[in-house]
């Protein structure tokens, strides 16, 4: 990973998520990478691709098109990379669903170190 720039690492990781390609996102991660999801807890690197596939399946159950390209839409992406680890903030939505939220991604020279997400939803009446 050290021969890739931080911006290339970020682009690869986000593109993997946009396409629903867990292997592509995984290719941009550091060995100690983890993903924090408030519903499933901490996902370690070895379980990440399976998590992405499960996440896509859940989105399909919520109305997303199977194998949609793109799978996720991103907006309001902010990248602070003037020092490492770089921080990426973004808003995401599974295309065709109300499933959406925010993500904070930490990136070092060795790859994506972590991602932590939060889901957006309406409070019950």
What is the per-residue pLDDT for 3?
A: 80
Whole-angstrom Cα distance, residue 82 to residue 101?
Answer: 25
pLDDT tens-digit readout, 98-123: 999 999 999 999 999 999 999 997 76
| pLDDT the model gives residue 121 | 78
Q: What is the CATH number of domain 6-120?
A: 3.10.450.50
Instruction: Note if the pTM is more than 0.75.
Output: yes
Please say if the pLDDT value at position 82 is more than 80. Answer: yes
Burial label, 42 (beta-carbon count in 10 A; 0-12, 13-18, 19+): exposed
Domain ranges of the chain: 6-120
Q: What is the DSSP letter of 93?
A: E
Q: pLDDT per residue over 19-69, tens digit each?
A: 999 999 999 999 999 999 999 999 999 999 999 999 999 999 999 988 888
């Amino acid at each position: 990973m050290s021969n890739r720039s931080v911006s290339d690492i970020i682009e690869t990781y986000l593109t993997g998520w946009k396409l629903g390609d867990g292997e592509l996102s995984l290719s941009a991660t550091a060995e100690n990478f983890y993903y924090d999801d408030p519903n499933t807890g901490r996902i370690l690197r070895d379980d990440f691709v399976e998590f992405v596939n499960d996440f896509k399946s859940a989105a399909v159950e919520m109305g997303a098109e199977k194998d949609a390209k793109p799978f996720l839409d991103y907006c309001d992406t902010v990248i602070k990379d003037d020092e490492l680890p770089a921080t990426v903030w973004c808003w995401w939505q599974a295309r065709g669903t109300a499933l959406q939220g925010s993500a904070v991604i930490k990136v070092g020279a060795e790859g994506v170190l972590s991602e932590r997400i939060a889901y957006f939803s309406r409070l019950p009446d």
